[in-house]
Amino acid sequence: MRKFIIFILIMLIVLFISACDNDDETVEDHLINTSYFDTYVYLPSRIEIPDMTDFLRSAWTDDARIYFYYIVHGSNIVVANLSTDSGNIERREIPDDSDGYELFMQEYGEFLPSWEHPNTTLLADGRLIELTWNDGQSVLREVGMAASGSDEVILTTEFPVLRLFPAREDAAFDLLMDDGRYLFGYNLQTEERTLILNWLEAGFVNTQHDNILFLDDGRIAVLSQDWDGDDGFATELFILTPTPRADLPERVTLTLGGFSLSHNTFQAVVEFNRESHTHFIHVIDYNRYNTEHDLSVGFFRFQMDIFAGNGPDIIYNADETMAAAGILTDLYPFIDADPELSRTDFFLNVLEAMESPDGTLSSIVNCFAIRTMIGQTETVGHIDSWAFPDLLELMDTTAPYPLGFWMTGEDFVRLMTPEFVDLYTLDAKFNSDAFINLLEASRNLPASAPDVVWGGDYVSTYTHMIRGEQLLSVAFLNGTESYRKYSAALEDITALGMPTDEGGTHIIALDHNRVGINAASDRASDAWEFVRRTLLPTAHIEHRFPLRIDLYDTTIADAMTPRMETDDDGNIVEVPHAEFWIGGSTLSLFAMTPEEAQSLRALVDSAQSGGQFDHALWYIVSEELPQFFAGSRSAEDTARIIQNRVERFLSERERN
């Protein structure tokens, strides 16, 4: 209880000081009038636009039809128009040459955005307003209307504005502002903002500047375009209709909160809200509390809400500190009772890496990566054990970049520090021979990373290894290509793992975007409805290995399937899955071989969990390293001082 009270007091003091020291406020603090938003919600209806495989260039509206144009493979300009009611589409193709362009501009040029003032809008009184940005502030200028002939600043905002749009003539505001999350009206005379809609609530993770159209009847048309893999771009038209909230069917409202939320998380929320007729998720992005001068406010607010019992139902960025404090619900009972899920659906070693020491699963993420060390077999293939003495022996070398030109001695110690402390038992091992060996080995690494020269003179990691200038690469493997690049460039490779007392292991790297369910929530079963969707075969996966074995197998099968195309001579030939540049030459990755698939699967199956990184603990370690690297203190003395300081730190943490 004492620890809890102290923590809350500290959080309150930090937030109070931050609020006093900064005039910047969140978007919500500036929204004076929310009566419209409280009354209406914009519900989307979708019209799919087939055969759209190129970028949209621009869009405009005329009565009840939407016009937009795009260019097909540099051959034709296509102007399409469709009915906002029926979805009927008409197309007109114009040659993409000088005559066609002249015709296109003659008929449609007045509807296109001005390149001279791309961020402008025309007010009802005829004034042209331009949006610019200066020193973190949004600036609105009245273009060319001042007596001096220069632009006149009419508004400088502390809140972000990304786009301007004209308001309807009968609106109570002069223009519409969009900050990427909200759309609101602004009255230049009263300086009142009127919240119109929340884009995420309306079903959009983000919107495109030229493709938001406001219809005369109050509806909003949004042309949405997303990359759809081999099929190119999937283009859809959404018509957003203002609907009284009172007319909506009742749904259970859940909250999901965190900071630095990923695009996939937002996308999962949007799809959940669209498809569920019983639940709705409201997102609390704690980054919104950050200011230009203090990017930590959101994190402190997030921590305060969590530990004060006011946290969201679904916690993004869930970590073991929260689990140890009893803030998170064990997810295993939900998985075991779910008719569509089983523990055996997942890589059990990865699932175990997410467990707390008591065997509960307090949070989960549907993907993972692996950190290991890879070298040429001719260089490191003879190594049977990969403990810290072996590391020290290998690092006794004249190679200028033993672990890569970017890996400094301090960076490597930072990478390995979590392996020398157990944050659960509060046991530290910095005075061990292993840590002393780590320090001695790190002394052979560069003191600072050189400036990278991109372009023709760039020398890649693979080239350094081929030349013998680099012995090993600390590899972050997040997919088949990241692994196969090494074998393609170096041919015969050996993955040693990361050095440990036990002889080396491949480390499972889990992102910070693990999701948990708040133990204080009285809607845990409802929250599980969202969490479980992230674990199904249809879920979006970040650029990582899938946690699900079936999705991993699908990924491997795709990588092993040759990609065939017809060349200019009519011959069917295999083409690369990917190409990458290693400085002076391009390497191609063709279909994955069975041997590559087998070796990667063995690496994944043998990977184990690593230690938990702690910023406060690393601060202690980093303070003692400069004297060691400067040569004024021995590795043994440095290890002893770090051990003593860390023990005091952990003892204080235990008492509190």
Every domain of the chain and the residues it spans: 31-247
Q: What is the DSSP string of 423-483?
A: TTTTEE-TTSHHHHHHHHHHTTS-SSPPPP--STT---HHHHHHHTS-S-EEEEE-SHHHH
How does pLDDT run across 391-416, given as a tens digit for each residue? Answer: 999 888 778 889 988 899 999 999 99
The model carries a pTM of 0.80
Residue with tokens 């609390």: 284
b/e sequence 616-629, b meaning 16+ C-beta within 10 Å: ebeebbeebbeebb
> Residue 339 to residues 56, 345, 357: CA-CA distances in angstroms?
42, 12, 27
How does pLDDT run across 279-321, given as a tens digit for each residue? Answer: 999 998 888 777 666 767 888 888 888 888 889 999 998 887 7
Q: How much of the chain is in helix, strand and coil states, percent to nearest 5?
A: 35, 25, 40
Q: Give which of 492, 444, 485 is closest to 461, Cα–Cα.
A: 485
> Per-residue pLDDT averaged across 263-273, rounded?
87
| β-strands 314-316, 252-258 pairing | parallel
Q: How many percent of the chain have pLDDT more than 70?
A: 86
Label residue 257 by pLDDT band (50, 70, 90).
very high
How does pLDDT run across 592-644, given as a tens digit for each residue? Answer: 999 999 999 999 999 999 877 788 889 999 999 999 999 999 999 999 999 99
The whole-number pLDDT of residue 18 equals 43
Average pLDDT, the chain: 84
- Asked if residue 208 has pLDDT above 70, the reply is no
Label residue 120 by pLDDT band (50, 70, 90).
confident
